[in-house]
Amino acid sequence: MPDLSEKMQLKKNKILSSSLELFTEKGYINTSTRDIIDRTGYGASTFYRYFNSREEILDHLLSDFLGSIIQRVYDYYAEEKDLYQRFIETKRVILDVFIENPEMAEIYSRAAGTSPAIDKCLQSFDDRFLKFSSQNIHYGIEKGVFKNEPVPPIAHAILAMIKFAVYKWIVRKELSPAGMTDMVLSFHETLAVGMLKSPPSEDRD
């Protein structure tokens, strides 16, 4: 909807922020479309002008969240040109976005497996993340920094590690934000050695 008036955009944002509040308070699976409509204070017809279901809202929230992550990674790329440093430090940038958005971290970590519609939303997030991550690894291979190893398993492992670390931080409270970041970065340092054509130079540490 590119021609949303300012007033319509405000209403849409109000629906999204009310949904995020409810998903955080009650959990996504315990929040009904009715709850969202009540929280916004609008009528049902207003809700359905923008969204068909709470799944569509989840999809929208996750898509915006991934958009922020990718934007932040590109901002970081503008400053850092070393591909080894990028491989490691990009994960700090990504985890920072999770740390700044604990509600989204919570939703992302809790929703998986609860319904086919939700899995579709998460799949779309994960697929875009995997594509983005794979492109960056391919770039490192083309530039001769990384060995020509199969990319999809590495991209999957990176996403899997981020998912698990975020889950241990936000759901299980076993890790602090700093502990989560240290764990993910340490793993990437070990993994990078298996990927690099030549070992990282000393001054990189």
Binding mask 134-173 for a second copy (x = CB under 8 A): ---------------xx-xxx-xx-xxx-xxx-xx--xx-
- As measured in angstroms, the least distance from the Cβ of 17 to a second copy is 22
Q: Is 93 in the site for a second copy (CB under 8 A)?
A: no
Pick the stretch among 7-15, 39-47, 51-59, 104-112 that binds a second copy (CB under 8 A): 104-112
Among residues 13, 123, 148, 176, which is the contact residue for a second copy, using CB under 8 A?
A: 123
Number of residues near a second copy (by CB under 8 A)? 37
94: Cβ contacts below 8 Å, ≥ 6 apart = 69, 72, 73, 162
Given 112, 129, 169, 178, the residue binding a second copy (CB under 8 A):
112
Q: Which of 22, 57, 97, 111 binds a second copy (CB under 8 A)?
A: 111
Count of CA atoms in the C-beta half-sphere (13 A) of 174 = 8
Q: Pattern of binders to a second copy over 16-55, x per CB under 8 A? A: -------------x--------------------------
Among 190, 198, 202, 205, binds a second copy (CB under 8 A): 190
Which C-beta is closer to a second copy: that of 8 or that of 157?
Answer: 157
3-state secondary structure the chain: CCCCCHHHHHHHHHHHHHHHHHHHHHCHHHCCHHHHHHHHCCCHHHHHHHCCCHHHHHHHHHHHHHHHHHHHHHHHHHHCCCHHHHHHHHHHHHHHHHHHCHHHHHHHHHCCCCCHHHHHHHHHHHHHHHHHHHHHHHHHHHCCCECCCCHHHHHHHHHHHHHHHHHHHHCCCCCCHHHHHHHHHHHHHHHHHHHECCCCCHHHC
Binding site for a second copy (CB under 8 A): 29, 109-114, 119, 123, 149-150, 152-154, 156-157, 159-161, 163-165, 167-168, 171-172, 183-184, 186-187, 189-195
